[in-house]
Amino acid sequence: MAFIDWNDKDFSVGVIEIDDQHKQLVNLINELHSSMMARKAKEILGEVIDELIEYTAYHFSTEEKYFDQYGYEETDAHKKIHKDFVNEVLKFQKDVQSNKLFVSSKILNFLKDWLLNHIKVTDKKYMAFMHKHGIK
């Protein structure tokens, strides 16, 4: 069993492109988890973290592009949540790089809880908005 198991019922936001990106984020967190469990070298963990940060930025920009394009009413609040998360993960990346921190279960659980909660609560709120504008 993976660290995070995707299921459409709980996690689909009704937009194929975004579901696919969310699945990829789940894959990256699972990869980070298995690298940690296998006690992979710091360099490998660093690479997965870099990839996670890069992909997260790409994914957030996809969502925000639709918010801006069609005038989503919760754009500002949603962007702020994205920004806070990015800052949190950048801080964690810096601490790992400077040896102040090991990739721990605490961090993995933070990433998992944040992502799943964000999808289920904050992202699902835009489903009707996306569908109204033909994004499915």
Question: Which residues are at the interface with Fe ion (CB under 5 A)?
Answer: 63, 123
Query: In the complex with Fe ion, which residue's Cβ is closer, 31 or 63?
Result: 63
For the CB of residue 126, give the shortest distance to Fe ion in the complex, in Å: 8
Residue 12 beta carbon to Fe ion: minimum distance, rounded to whole angstroms: 14
Quote the least distance from Cβ 22 to Fe ion, whole Å: 9
Q: Which residue lies nearer to Fe ion by CB, 45 or 67?
A: 67
Which residues have CB under 8 Å from 89's CB, separation 6+?
A: 49, 52, 53, 56, 111
Q: Are residues 99 and 106 in contact, defined by beta-carbon separation less than 8 angstroms?
A: no
CB of 84 vs Fe ion, minimal distance in Å = 12
d(Cα 90, Cα 110) in Å, to the nearest integer? 14
Residue nearest to Fe ion (CB): 123
Angle, CA 136 vertex, CA 83 and CA 12 arms, to 5°: 65
Tokens (6 digits) for 61:
């920009």
Of the two residues 2 and 77, which places its CB atom closer to Fe ion in the complex? 77
What angle, rounded to 10 degrees, do the helices at 75-97 and 105-117 form? 170
In the bound state with Fe ion, the residue whose beta carbon lies nearer, of 101 and 127, is 127
